[in-house]
Amino acid sequence: MKYSEKHQVNFYECDENQHLKLPAMINLMMSTSEHQLAEGPGSTEALNEQGLGWVVTHYHVEITRWPQPNENIIISTEPVGYNRFLEYRDFAISDQAGNNLITAKSEWVLFDLKKRKLVSTDKKMMEELGVPLLKKIPRFLRLRLQDDYPVKRKYRVRYDDLDTNHHMTNGHYFNWLLDTLERDFLKNHVVSSIDIKFNLEVRYGETPFSCLKLVEDGDQIESYHAIGDEDKKDKALCELSWRKI
């Protein structure tokens, strides 16, 4: 069950290099999946009535080219399967000619908003949505804490950072991750792939660190990121691959 919608990229969704911002890309993908589920049992409204919400636990994203201001793009999404606890959804962003610009795979769980823990997959809902049961689990890159992060910056979760699940929204993590990199680096490089794992929620009023280790080896440039505090250093882990503009 594939769903697509058109979008014209706004200037405020782009950075100073006139590339779609990474958080804006995440928000567009999330919005598209919300629209697909809007009238069914998997919608935010229907789940909230049961005290539940969707939570992303993992993304893998490949970027061929970043969309630019005023460009007309097509955002597509499709739920590809589920197992006992996890649901999987693919995304794609293409230009008007149908050329893939961005592809993404994602892993989700259903979350009890009161008990703040995951619950097993609703099989009846998956059947109503036409999502198949998977025999083989999709694999994502296993992310690990680095021994050392030379750059650390402390942040505070504001009210405006929260989503309807009452914790920090996915897209905002990338604001913290990218803010640890210098402006000169960001002006001369673009992200070519993303792997991120959300291990524990980050909630209102918390003051975690955003940590960075940047490794440059010729044309191979990787940045390793962690969001965490003194007790839980890996609330989120991320690896970004970069290429020079």
Two structure tokens written together for 70: 């005023």
CA atoms within 13 A on the CB side of 92: 12
d(CA 171, CA 28): 10
Asked if the domains at 1-140 and 141-245 fall in one CATH topology, the answer is: yes
Give per-residue pLDDT as tens, 31-42: 999 999 998 899
Residue 1 clears pLDDT 90, i.e. is over it: no
Q: For the chain, what's the residue count?
A: 245
pLDDT value for 40 = 87
Pairing state between β 236-244 and 189-198: antiparallel
Which is nearest to 175 in space by CA: 65, 75, 25, 34?
Answer: 25
Its pTM stands at 0.95
- Looking at domain 141-245, which CATH architecture does it have? Roll (3.10)
Residue 231 clears pLDDT 90, i.e. is over it: no
Question: What is the residue extent of each domain of the chain?
Answer: 1-140, 141-245
Give per-residue pLDDT as tens, 127-176: 998 999 999 989 999 999 999 999 999 999 999 999 999 999 999 999 99
Residue 230 clears pLDDT 90, i.e. is over it: no
Residue 82 clears pLDDT 90, i.e. is over it: yes
pLDDT value for 5 = 97
Instruction: Say which range, 12-16, 85-89, 91-95, 127-131, has the weakest mean pLDDT.
Output: 127-131
Residue 104 clears pLDDT 90, i.e. is over it: yes
Coil, helix or strand for 67?
A: coil
Class of domain 1-140: alpha beta
